Structure 1
Amino acid sequence: MAIDEKFGKVVTSEDAHEVSKTGAFVRQENYFITPFGDGEGELPVEAGRYRLIWTPLCPWATRQIIALKLLGLEDAISVGTVSPIRREQGWEFSLDEGGVDPVLQIRYLPEIYAETAPEYEGRATVPTVVDVKTRKVVNNDYHHLTNHWETAWKPLHKEGAPDLYPEELRKEIDELNVILFHDVNNGVYKSGFAQSQEEYEKAYEVLFERLDWLEERLSKSRYLFGDQITDSDIRLYVTLARFDIAYYFCFKTNRNRLTDFENLWNYAKDLYSIQAFKEATDFESIKKGYLLGNHAHNPYNILPLGPDTSTWTEPHNRDEKFGKRLVQY
């Protein structure tokens, strides 16, 4: 575990008590799960009322930003950004002037959790949605948050916004999203945070079996559900964007690099060529967050020079394979 004299130690999965007796990584459950909507007890959809806290390090948080940009919700929901390196005190607003969030006036994210629910003993996580009017955390449910932006917030979508969660595909999207979460999105963490050889190998095998399956699926379809981007593509992309720069090394997911998969690699470059995906992808923050303490054993805080991320802007072959993109994002 790395030590920083100025800011204190960084936290690990063991600190957060997310390791089972067999050495498997078990991610904590989300605590604030009230959905958005107009039903009784639901969170009202209201422009300017909520603040989304994220870091470009985090895949769960990054997919919220991608969705907001694609749907045109950036003016309706304010965004606060924490440092990619989580400290012992929690996610820190060290990027803001004075080291505090300009809206919430807090230095560390756990401060607003403590105000909202003093009994809460878990980690303060990103993404976090805060109701600025009541000054309370109202949602940190990354499993369903993009779906809320896609459905409940539809009245505030920009004109011509893509339908990322089409009603006729929702059952299939939900089923695939469960697979993506367990085998890929969280699968890399199961490998990286495992504390026994058996659990590591189990997670490693499941992860690469699923990536092989996705490689085959994407040989026949431009995106996961045909020619239009859906919620599932956002969820897969955020893991692929972190694979070679972080997971391959510090999570020991080193059977293949992303660039070794023809279809997955060209699919990822295709998505990265879309402005919303590119703007939400900060490779430097990803590298710093994973390799300067949060997840890697790197006591001297040496930041690797590679890999070369300029390859993400190289041409992909998806137009050649499937024709020009039908929808402009």
Structure 2
Amino acid sequence: MRANRIPTEEIRREPAAFDDRVTADGRFGRAAEPGRFRLVVSRACPWAHRVVVTRRLMGLEGAVSLAVTDPRQEDIDGDPHWVFTEETGSPGDRDPVLGIHALREAYLARDPHYDGGVSVPGLVDVDNGHLVSNDYDRLSLDMATEWGGLVRDGAPDLYPAPLRDEIEALGADVYRDLNNGVYRAGFAPDQAHYDAAVAGVFARLDALEERLAARRYLVGDTVTMADIRLFTTLVRFDSVYHGHFKCNIRKLAEYPALWAYARDLFQTPGFGDTTDHDHIRIHYYYVHTGINPTRIIAAGPDPRGWLTAHHREELGGSPFGAGTAPGPVPEGERV
């Protein structure tokens, strides 16, 4: 389903069109090399945001460069496309490294006959301009576990082996009811589909509120992939999912534990410093003309609330465990 059309059936996510893996040892055919790959993202997209957070926490900014598309997208042949514009730092409306205007060009460089959808994130091979992968989950996991000596000293263990089963079990529930559930509600084709989806969203939020009332992080005592997966939905909830997607039974700010948890993460290096509230609001309200035909962009909420005290440190735990916080955001990537 295209987001700029009136929904006629429940939204369904297509599997990643390209899912080549990049690892330090190159055992899947592609080796992680400094400067070899460029990560194309939209700062509005929660799925791309997962990879951006992981890249920053692991200190991979110097190994894989970042390209940011315009939040508004551009209509090409009747479909919206992720494009580079001067407004977002691309001279001549082309990415200065890849030389492309639309991410679709990297898809077609990989497969000239490709006629499917185009999604972010996209990992692109700088040498030949081919898309390597648009599999956001595998990209995150591999950057967290498979990039070997390219990660920074003090990088955290975001996917601890003893906790992986719990991380994945919880992640499946959160994906079904919340990460994807907000989209199923927002793009529901009828009342029955909306009612079912929104009920699932708030049942999951209620369960997470209870889980986080007495523990600082979702799984274990440090930040893990489970927290990254949840954060990128929570940080968009009150600004776009609550109003634009009609998930308005309660606001995130009305959940004491969840709201404090989200602020705790936001104030942790790697999370808030990769979040662009303006891109989020602009993209959702401008691009989804099927549910917002006027393209009027909502003004709020005030993002300063994300910087208020959370007191979650009183629950124990520490964000990076035996590791350390990442250094300053690179100059060209500040939001």
Q: Where do residues 187-206 of structure 1 align in structure 2 (5 Å cutoff)?
A: 187-206=181-200
The answer as to 2:87 corresponding to 1:93 is no
Q: 1:161 & 1:296 partners in 2: Cα distance?
A: 42
Farther off after superposition, 227-236 or 293-302: 293-302
What is the identity, as a one-letter code, of the residue corresponding to 2:190?
Answer: S
Equivalent in the alignment of 2:58: 71
The counterpart of 2:3, out of the listed 8, 12, 19, is: 12
| 1:180 Cα deviation after fit | 1.8
Q: 2:290 & 2:277 partners in 1: Cα distance?
A: 16
The counterpart of 2:232, out of the listed 234, 238, 261, is: 238
Farther off after superposition, 216-225 or 116-125: 116-125
| 1:110 Cα deviation after fit | 0.9
| 1:116 Cα deviation after fit | 1.3
Contact 1:250 1:296 in 2 (8 A): no
Q: 1:151 & 1:271 partners in 2: Cα distance?
A: 21
| 1:36 Cα deviation after fit | 2.0
What is the identity, as a one-letter code, of the residue corresponding to 2:222?
Answer: Q
Q: 1:295 & 1:180 partners in 2: Cα distance?
A: 27
Partner SS state of residue 22, structure 2: coil
Deviations 1:135-189 (A, max 9, x none): 2101100122110101111321111110001111112212222222221111111
Q: 1:268 & 1:282 partners in 2: Cα distance?
A: 15
The counterpart of 2:162, out of the listed 155, 158, 168, is: 168
Q: How many residues align?
A: 314
Equivalent in the alignment of 1:249: 243
The counterpart of 2:131, out of the listed 137, 142, 152, is: 137
Contact 1:32 1:140 in 2 (8 A): yes
Q: Where do residues 150-299 of structure 1 align in structure 2 (5 Å cutoff)?
A: 150-294=144-288, 297-299=291-293
What is the identity, as a one-letter code, of the residue corresponding to 1:64?
Answer: V
Q: 1:54 & 1:295 partners in 2: Cα distance?
A: 21
Where does the alignment leave 5 or more consecutive residues of structure 2 unmatched? 326-335
Q: 2:45 & 2:194 partners in 1: Cα distance?
A: 22
Q: Structure 1 44/221 Cα, relative in aligned 2: closer, same or farther at 3 Å?
A: same
TM-score by length of structure 1 reads 0.90
Contact 1:61 1:127 in 2 (8 A): yes
Q: 2:131 & 2:45 partners in 1: Cα distance?
A: 18
Deviations 1:183-210 (A, max 9, x none): 1111111111111111111111111111
Partner SS state of residue 218, structure 2: coil
| 1:227 Cα deviation after fit | 1.8
| 1:297 Cα deviation after fit | 3.5
Contact 1:194 1:200 in 2 (8 A): yes
Q: Structure 1 147/303 Cα, relative in aligned 2: closer, same or farther at 3 Å?
A: same
Q: 2:320 & 2:133 partners in 1: Cα distance?
A: 34
Q: 2:288 & 2:99 partners in 1: Cα distance?
A: 24
Q: Structure 1 30/324 Cα, relative in aligned 2: closer, same or farther at 3 Å?
A: closer
| 1:326 Cα deviation after fit | 6.9
Equivalent in the alignment of 1:47: 34
The answer as to 2:13 corresponding to 1:27 is yes
Where does the alignment leave 5 or more consecutive residues of structure 1 unmatched? 1-10
Contact 1:50 1:77 in 2 (8 A): yes
Deviations 1:245-287 (A, max 9, x none): 0010110100110000011100000001112111110101101
Q: 2:82 & 2:154 partners in 1: Cα distance?
A: 35
What percentage of aligned pairs have identical amino acids? 39
Contact 1:85 1:294 in 2 (8 A): no
Equivalent in the alignment of 1:3: none
| 1:317 Cα deviation after fit | 2.3
Partner SS state of residue 300, structure 2: coil
CA RMSD of aligned residues (A): 1.9
Q: 2:146 & 2:233 partners in 1: Cα distance?
A: 26
TM-score by length of structure 2 reads 0.89
